Structure 1
Amino acid sequence: MNKEIFKIDTKENADSTKNNMIRYINENTGDFLSISIDSIARKVGISVSSVSRFSQKMGFSSFKDLQLYVNEENIKKNQSYTINDGTTIEEIVKNITTYNSYTIKETSDILNNEEINKVTNEIISSKVVLIYGVGSSALAAQELNTNLKKTGINCAYFSDFHSILAILSTLSDDSLVILISSSLKSHEIKFIYDYCYKNKIKNLLITKDTTILEYEPSYKITFKTIDQKERYSSISSKTAQLFIADVIFNSVTNDFVKNKKELIKKTNDLISEWNETK
């Protein structure tokens, strides 16, 4: 994870007072938080008044406010994700909180907004959307399917391999297949993925690991998890997949609201008419 507090200002000279201060804060955060403004000025090689002006230039009313901000950011960026043995209820709660906190934070950091936008447009323009997931991945697949139906998307969810096989052969190049799997190692997932590739059917992979792929999918969204010591259920993978499913659904919904206001108005009018009959 990038632990920089501030980014170097590329519009200024590399050795400007501003960039020298930023570099010092990033590389010596502990010192910056523990020593006086006079000591910082000496270490950076500038005057005390220059340190004060830097604080104001960065948007803070005083040097002390700058230190408080740096301290808060330092705590966030150096947050540790420690998993204990989990023998008590308190430890179990802490572990599950850690798994989920790590997954959402780290996954949100690596999400590709441009890819999300492309997936959104593909879902909206596709004639049919098939969503496949088994085990814990089935939860995200089912949730995404249920939510997309609310926007009028023609989609279907499958957790049974033989059921989706019967539909695959009917798909054309204006269809989209969404595969949700942490590892992509199951024979069923590989078969569906290979079929889509060979028959030029657009596909989206939501997964943790794409290194085993022989060829690039149409779209891919990856997530991060902490490996569990004892895997009774995939805690963080399940959270990551549901998180991504919600991101996709909300992106589709935003586009739906923006481009289909008349349809939404008719729906709301119909709901109001129903409420008046009660």
Structure 2
Amino acid sequence: MKIINLENLKTNATEYIVADLINKSPDFFTSHSIQEVSKEFNVSPSTMTRVCQKLGFKSFKATQMFVYEKSRMQMDYYKIVDSNGVNQIMHNVRGSALFTINETLNDLDPKLIETIAAKIYKAKRVVVFGLEQQTTSANAFVMNLLRIDIDATRVGSIHTFGQRAVFFDKNDFCVFITRTGWTKEVIESIKWARNKGIPLLILTADEETTRKLIGGEYDWTDMYLIETQTMRNEKLEYPIISSLPGEMIIFDVIFNTIISLNTEFIEKIKKSSAISLNWNFEGHL
């Protein structure tokens, strides 16, 4: 788990190295004075203070408190160890799910979500491509879009994707979900959609691999990528590290952002809930 998010930091090279060292040595950082930490990190105390302020904290001490609390949380909840009974299994599942949800949300760019939500809201048609485990999050997102009368379809093969998206153009939208980034059907479908100029979103747990396989020849205008955060420590011997909670939470954020774009949607969601309650408890619509 990243204690300090290093992406989009407005720091120089030295300051970036200091922030990275905080991530790598949280115990030392939180248990020593600013003079001792500065000496160990080979910078001056004034540079250390400046780094802390650029990270959004008022002081070195405030940064220490944040790093301490988050590193303790990592030890208590995110440490996956060998399974030994149901209690340990519950701990493992809780740890991976909490990590995925918390870190995925922490990494989300609100402006990017607003852009994607607006694109989907204005799209004539939406297709969501998800295979195997990803069919769960894909189906849930499509069902939500249908609730607000957005023409959405979930597909599970390159054949059905092609049959649906062959009619698509820049006024439509495609969503692709790939946990590993290695799924050939999804990668080739992304390339095909990009060549047609169709706006698209990619959800992946491995951004580096996904970008590499897509290739660098594409213009990423109207082509968006969000990484779902999962526990990828090579030392973990745990059979099911799922990206599904991250996918679901991203789709929930996008869906609720779409709803916020039209007050009529909010009223319809309330009415649909009332209809369900009437049927379940009073036997009529």
For the residues of structure 1 that align with 2:3 and 2:173, how far apart are their CA atoms?
Answer: 35
User: Which residue identity lines up with residue 224 of structure 1 in the other structure?
Assistant: Q
Query: Do the aligned partners of residues 208 and 138 (structure 1) sit closer, same or farther apart at CA in structure 2, a change above 3 Å counting?
Result: same
1:246 alignment partner in structure 2? 252
2:140 alignment partner in structure 1? 143
User: Which residue identity lines up with residue 221 of structure 1 in the other structure?
Assistant: I
Per-residue deviation, 1:161: 2.9
Alignment of 1:220 with 2:220, yes or no, is no
SS at match of 1:226: coil
Unaligned runs of 5+ in 1: 5-26, 33-43, 45-57, 59-65
Per-residue deviation, 1:252: 1.3
User: Which residue identity lines up with residue 74 of structure 1 in the other structure?
Assistant: Y
User: Which residue identity lines up with residue 130 of structure 2 in the other structure?
Assistant: G
Q: Does the CA-based 8 Å contact 1:112-1:221 persist in structure 2?
A: no
User: Which residue identity lines up with residue 76 of structure 1 in the other structure?
Assistant: K
Per-residue deviation, 1:79: 2.2
Q: How many residues align?
A: 222
For the residues of structure 2 that align with 1:141 and 1:188, how far apart are their CA atoms?
Answer: 16
Structure 2 residue corresponding to 1:120, chosen from 117, 123, 135: 117
For the residues of structure 2 that align with 1:173 and 1:236, how far apart are their CA atoms?
Answer: 33
Alignment of 1:103 with 2:96, yes or no, is no
1:167 alignment partner in structure 2? 164
The residue correspondences of 1:5-44 to structure 2 (distance < 5 A) are: 29-30=30-31
1:206 alignment partner in structure 2? 203
Per-residue deviation, 1:269: 9.8
For the residues of structure 1 that align with 2:276 and 2:98, how far apart are their CA atoms?
Answer: 38
For the residues of structure 1 that align with 2:252 and 2:274, how far apart are their CA atoms?
Answer: 27
1:16 alignment partner in structure 2? none
The residue correspondences of 1:232-271 to structure 2 (distance < 5 A) are: 232-233=239-240, 235-256=241-262, 258=263
In the TM superposition, what whole-angstrom CA distance separates every residue of 1:220-274 from its partner, at most 9, and x where no partner exists? 11121013745654x4311111111111111112223x36578679879989999
User: Which residue identity lines up with residue 70 of structure 2 in the other structure?
Assistant: K
For the residues of structure 1 that align with 2:257 and 2:103, how far apart are their CA atoms?
Answer: 20
Query: Do the aligned partners of residues 210 and 271 (structure 1) sit closer, same or farther apart at CA in structure 2, a change above 3 Å counting?
Result: closer
Q: Does the CA-based 8 Å contact 1:3-1:77 persist in structure 2?
A: no
For the residues of structure 1 that align with 2:84 and 2:135, how far apart are their CA atoms?
Answer: 29
The residue correspondences of 1:2-81 to structure 2 (distance < 5 A) are: 2=3, 29-30=30-31, 74-80=68-74, 81=78
Structure 2 residue corresponding to 1:86, chosen from 83, 86, 89: 83
TM, length-normalised to structure 2: 0.66
Q: Does the CA-based 8 Å contact 1:131-1:158 persist in structure 2?
A: yes
1:61 alignment partner in structure 2? none
For the residues of structure 2 that align with 1:239 and 1:263, how far apart are their CA atoms?
Answer: 26
Query: Do the aligned partners of residues 261 and 89 (structure 1) sit closer, same or farther apart at CA in structure 2, a change above 3 Å counting?
Result: closer
For the residues of structure 1 that align with 2:277 and 2:246, how far apart are their CA atoms?
Answer: 37
Q: Does the CA-based 8 Å contact 2:3-2:67 persist in structure 1?
A: no
In the TM superposition, what whole-angstrom CA distance separates every residue of 1:123-164 from its partner, at most 9, and x where no partner exists? 000000000101111111011001111111111111233222
SS at match of 2:164: helix
